[in-house]
Structure 1
């Protein structure tokens, strides 16, 4: 069963890469699943000489800044829900969990109007706010369950040393939550790297658009050149595959650690 699933998930990517290395003539004259007779890297050179690197830089900036803010904000909120006693703690946490079921597209029009009114439309920062806000519920949920497993004795020892809640968070909970933080960072990096609809609505020029829009924009430019089009898809997917391949173990450990009772 595992080998069948491996084939199902791997073969499409193999097909995309193999086709991107073919010439345009070879694509139409040979069978679809045939391997390229000669490796043709000209498609990649053509794409990289275009605006692809600009899209890549925008994605790295937007996703990187968003993930940093998500990790910090969700960790602080999770610490408050997991360890601080305050009025409406459970009610507010239930509200955060309930926000996870809100359809993202239902917020598209209000977010668009808000971004326009703030003067951020068609800028690199237009996507950061929505990305952070929409990613916080699931991130807070993951980290809250994770931090609840940290022994309370550490809080008591830190309080005896004169540490306040903020210092306890930075000195104890933040470092001990590294597996959970890695899970949140990798999970959101993958989700935001592929995000299309908000990037499409909140930006309008190639100078500020991210990689999912590169595939959309290059579709018109290379609509009849299938190998070049699949070269864009390969280059867009490659960073994501590398990040997931390096971080999948941390995701599993973080999820498992947050689900086990101490």
Structure 2
């Protein structure tokens, strides 16, 4: 009876996994397959039909356009923002997770409450602030909002991660003569690499695909990031779908590569703290 239940459980899990694969893999297949089609082939053939041939002119046209400049802008913005997020989150999470002081709980409550603030509510004040400090229509004007709005959840996750690090390691470092700073850099931070890797991938995906702030805080093509590059391939009444799919394929490649490289640390970071003892 128990063996039969296990078999039924495996069948149900397999069916759910297949459904999940179709739901997530279907759009990805449509994107890649459409990128290799001519514009009218997409309209005349079936939506999910295989391309008649590998029509690579779409990719050539994307590369020869302003796409490389948009790609560079996204890389610069995401890289700078990610470094600031990880550094600030690390410095904030250490005292939240290891020290006990009067304002620990109230300050951490503020961090948690900040996670509930809708991004769109802040678009107007952020726009006015960016204009006043002279960063409007500059890729560096995106760094502040990207860092600020991804920081609360990063502090929340990293605090939980650091709290699971055994205190005996910290005490051993103090016995050896390490102060709080050396303990942080030599013990806590190295052991937090899985958590930092999780935050790096999670935040990178969010910032890489971010559209609202990029639309509001930039205007000229020189300051556009990848989510805005699609505008270049659509008119007022028409859109070149295969070209847009080629752009989206190029946009997805860096994130897929980042996940493939850091998936082991990502899984460790997600599972950290799930089991105690």
Q: When the two structures are superposed, what TM-score results if normalisation uses the length of structure 1?
A: 0.94
Match of 2:118 in 1: 103
Q: Any gaps of 5 or more consecutive residues in structure 1? A: none
Match of 2:45 in 1: 30
Deviation at 1:221, TM superposition (A): 8.8
Tell me which moved more, 127-136 or 246-255.
Answer: 246-255
Match of 2:82 in 1: 67
Change (3 A) 1:259 1:106: farther
1:173 counterpart (188, 199, 222): 188
Match of 2:209 in 1: 194
- Give runs of aligned pairs for residues 79-118 of structure 1, distance below 5 A: 79-118=94-133
Deviation at 1:193, TM superposition (A): 0.6
Change (3 A) 1:102 1:108: same
| Alignment RMSD | 1.7
1:39 aligned onto 2:39: no
- Give runs of aligned pairs for residues 167-246 of structure 1, distance below 5 A: 167-220=182-235, 223-246=238-261
Change (3 A) 1:170 1:179: same
**Contact 1:19-1:230 within 8 A present in 2 as well:** yes
Match of 1:153 in 2: 168
Question: Aligned residue pairs: how many?
Answer: 262
Deviation at 1:232, TM superposition (A): 1.3
Match of 2:66 in 1: 51
Question: Separation in 1 of the partners of 2:176 and 2:259?
Answer: 40
**Contact 2:37-2:52 within 8 A present in 1 as well:** yes
Question: Separation in 2 of the partners of 1:168 and 1:66?
Answer: 26
Q: Any gaps of 5 or more consecutive residues in structure 2? A: 1-15
**Contact 2:97-2:159 within 8 A present in 1 as well:** yes
**Contact 1:142-1:258 within 8 A present in 2 as well:** no
1:17 aligned onto 2:43: no
Deviation at 1:161, TM superposition (A): 2.6
SS of alignment partner, residue 22 of structure 2 = helix
SS of alignment partner, residue 258 of structure 1 = coil
**Contact 1:222-1:229 within 8 A present in 2 as well:** no
Deviation at 1:104, TM superposition (A): 1.3
Question: Separation in 2 of the partners of 1:166 and 1:75?
Answer: 12
